[in-house]
């Protein structure tokens, strides 16, 4: 991946955990060998700095009409 390039993720999940958020700890390796570690799970510090916070997906309850077995 080139420095400044965007990463794209694709995942498949059969059942999501009973949680409010799902974090994806990520190691991003560049062509020059440098590695960024996006692994922090903590909230931002008092100064608003987020550091290298892991990408996260906010989970919500399924819509009443959602089919739990769709695409299974």
Q: What are phi and psi of 30, to 5 degrees?
A: -100, 165
Q: How many structural domains comprise the chain?
A: 1
The answer to whether residue 1 is domain-embedded is no
pTM for the structure as a whole:
0.57
Instruction: State residue 29's pLDDT score.
Output: 85
Instruction: State residue 68's pLDDT score.
Output: 61
The rounded distance, in Å, linking the Cα atoms of 39 and 37 is: 6
- Return per-residue pLDDT of the chain as tens, 72 residues: 666 677 777 888 888 888 888 888 988 888 888 898 989 886 655 665 567 888 888 888 877 876 666 555
The answer to whether residue 16 is domain-embedded is no
The range of the structural domain enclosing residue 35 comes to 21-58
Distances (CA, A) of 48 to 3, 24, 56: 25, 21, 17
The answer to whether residue 3 is domain-embedded is no
The answer to whether residue 14 is domain-embedded is no
The answer to whether residue 40 is domain-embedded is yes
The answer to whether residue 36 is domain-embedded is yes
The answer to whether residue 15 is domain-embedded is no
């Amino acid at each position: 991946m080139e420095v400044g390039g965007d990463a794209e993720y694709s995942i498949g999940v059969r059942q999501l955990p009973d949680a409010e958020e799902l974090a994806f700890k990520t190691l991003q390796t560049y062509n020059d060998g440098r590695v960024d570690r996006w692994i922090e799970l903590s909230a931002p510090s008092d100064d608003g700095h987020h550091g290298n916070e892991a990408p996260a997906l906010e989970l919500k309850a399924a819509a009443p009409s959602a089919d739990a077995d769709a695409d299974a």
